[in-house]
Amino acid sequence: MNRKQFFLGMILASLIGGLVAILGVSLLQNNQDSSTNFTEKQDTSFVNWLADDRFVIPEGINFVASAEQVTPAVVHVRSTVTMGSRESGVDPMEEFFGFRSPRGEAPPRQGRSSGSGAIISEDGYIVTNNHVIENASKVEVTLEDNRRFTARVVGTDPTTDLALLKIEANNLPFIPFGDSDQAKIGQWVLAVGNPYELNSTVTAGIVSAKSRNIGILRDESGLQVESFIQTDAAVNPGNSGGPLVNLNGEIIGINTAIASRTGGFSGYSFAVPSAIAKKVMDDLLEFGTVQRGLLGVIIMDVNADLEEFIGEEVSVNRGVYIREVNEGSGGEEAGLQKGDIIIGVDGFDTYTTSALQERVARKRPGDQVEVTFLRDGEEMTTKATLKNISGDTKVVIKELPKTTSFEGVIFEDLNATIKERLELEGGASISVIDNEAWREAGVNEGFIITKIGRTKILSGADVLEALKNYKGEEVTILGVYPNGQRSYYELDL
CA atoms in the 13 A half-sphere facing the CB of 463? 27
Task: Give me the pLDDT at residue 23, please.
Answer: 54
- pLDDT computed for residue 90 by the predictor: 40
Per-residue model confidence (pLDDT) at position 338: 93
According to the model, what pLDDT value does residue 342 have? 96
Residue range 108-135: mean pLDDT, rounded:
88
The predicted model gives 460-482 an average pLDDT of 89
Q: What percent of the chain has pLDDT over 90?
A: 47
Predicted confidence band of residue 148 (pLDDT cuts 50, 70, 90): very high
pLDDT at 262: 64
Q: Which residue has the higher pLDDT, 199 or 2?
A: 199
What pLDDT is stored for residue 436 in this prediction?
A: 87
By CB neighbour count within 10 A (0-12 exposed, 13-18 middle, 19+ buried), where does 289 fall?
Answer: middle
Which residues are within 8 A (CB) of 476 and not within 5 positions of it... i.e. 6 or more apart? 452, 453, 488, 489, 490, 491
- pLDDT level of residue 217 (50, 70, 90 thresholds): confident
pLDDT tens, residue by residue, 233-292 = 988 888 999 999 999 999 999 999 876 666 666 678 899 999 999 999 999 999 988 999
Burial 139-168 (b: 16+ CB within 10 A, else e): bbbebeeeeebebebbbbbbbbbbbbbbbe
**Tens of pLDDT along 358-410?**
999 999 999 999 999 999 889 999 999 999 988 888 877 776 678 888 888 89
Q: In the chain, pLDDT over 70 holds for what percent of residues?
A: 79
HEC string of the chain?
Answer: CCHHHHHHHHHHHHHHHHHHHHHHHHHHHHHHHCCCCHHHHHHHCCCCCCCCHHHCCCHHHCCHHHHHHHHHHEEEEEEEEEECCCECCCCHHHHHHCCECCCCECCCEEEEEEEEEEECCCCCEEEECHHHHCCCCEEEEECCCCCEEECEEEEEECCCCEEEEECCCCCCCCCCECCHHHCCCCCEEEEEECHHHCCCEEEEEEEEEEEECCCCCCCCCCCCCCCEEEECCCCCCCCCCCEEECCCCCEEEEEEEECCCCCCCCCCEEEEEHHHHHHHHHHHHHHCCCCCCECCEEEEECCCCHHHHHCCCCCCCCCEEEEEECCCCHHHHCCCCCCCEEEEECCEECCCHHHHHHHHHCCCCCCEEEEEEEECCEEEEEEEECECCCCCCCCCCCCCCCEEEECCEEEEECCHHHHHHHCCCCCEEEEEECCHHHHHHCCCCCCEEEEECCEECCCHHHHHHHHHHCCCCEEEEEEECCCCCEEEEEEEC
Q: Give the chain's domains with CATH numbers.
A: 3-44 (no CATH), 58-291 (2.40.10.120), 297-385 (2.30.42.10), 403-492 (2.30.42.10)
Calculate the average pLDDT of the chain: 82
The better pLDDT of the pair 91, 277 is held by: 277
Segment 26-52, tens digit of pLDDT: 554 555 455 555 455 445 444 444 445
Q: Specify the pLDDT at position 483.
A: 77
Confidence (pLDDT) at 98: 41
Question: In the prediction, which pLDDT does 346 show?
Answer: 94
**Mean pLDDT, to the nearest integer, of 82-93?**
47
Of residues 333 and 21, more confidently modeled: 333
List pLDDT tens digits, range 175-206: 999 999 999 999 999 999 998 888 889 999 99
Question: Given this model, what pLDDT does residue 103 score?
Answer: 44
Of 8-12, 14-18, 88-92, give the lowest mean pLDDT range. Answer: 88-92
Looking at 7-11, 104-108, 284-288, which range is the least confident one? 104-108
* pLDDT tier for residue 88 given thresholds of 50, 70 and 90: very low
Choose the most confident range, by mean pLDDT, from 101-110, 219-228, 434-443: 434-443
pLDDT band at 445 (very low <50, low <70, confident <90, very high): confident
- Residue with the larger pLDDT of the pair 7 and 345: 345
Residue 174 scores a pLDDT above 70: yes
Determine the pLDDT at residue 258. Answer: 76
Residues belonging to the active site: 131, 161, 240
d(CA 217, CA 34): 66
